[in-house]
Amino acid sequence: MAETAARVSLEDLAAIVAQRAQATTETSYTRSLLAKGVAKCAQKLGEEAVETALAAVSGDTKAVVSEAADLLYHLAVLLQARGVPLDDVYAELGRRTGQSGLEEKASRPAS
């Protein structure tokens, strides 16, 4: 019988990325990506976002799951590269709870 892989949460992923940031570029994709700097990490995140969006409209549900996993991993790497704790993102999401997205949009300064 096939073994079921453990589930990995965003917190787990952030912890894995923080730990792999200490590895060598020879042994870790995470470390080698971080070594290329924030702009490269941001580019990878953008690519994965586009690939997730394309998968969503393609009708291939397995591809959506796979690309979304890539996207979350690259988000964790970008947050690590910028030194932004995942907890700060959670706090921001919490701050928005109870307010409709339409209210939030209306409260933004005019650009």
Ligand X SMILES: N=c1c2ncn([C@@H]3O[C@H](COP(=O)(O)OP(=O)(O)OP(=O)(O)O)[C@@H](O)[C@H]3O)c2ncn1[C@@H]1O[C@H](COP(=O)(O)O)[C@@H](O)[C@H]1O
Residues interacting with ligand X, by CB under 6 A?
Answer: 16, 20, 28-31, 33, 70, 73
User: Which amino acid is it at 67?
Assistant: E
Cβ-proximal residues to 98 (8 Å cutoff; 6+ apart), any chain: none
The minimum distance between CB 16 and ligand X, in angstroms, equals 5
Instruction: Using the minimum distance from each CB to ligand X, give the nearer residue, 27 or 99.
Output: 27
Instruction: Using the minimum distance from each CB to ligand X, give the nearer residue, 30 or 52.
Output: 30
Instruction: Using the minimum distance from each CB to ligand X, give the nearer residue, 65 or 91.
Output: 65
Instruction: Using the minimum distance from each CB to ligand X, give the nearer residue, 19 or 61.
Output: 19
Ordered alpha helix ranges (H), 1-111: 10-20, 29-35, 38-58, 61-82, 86-96, 101-107
The minimum distance between CB 106 and ligand X, in angstroms, equals 37
Provide the 8-state DSSP code for 97. Answer: T
Residue 45 and residue 75 in contact, taking contact as beta carbons nearer than 8 Å: yes
The minimum distance between CB 99 and ligand X, in angstroms, equals 32
Residue 93 and residue 103 in contact, taking contact as beta carbons nearer than 8 Å: no
The minimum distance between CB 33 and ligand X, in angstroms, equals 6
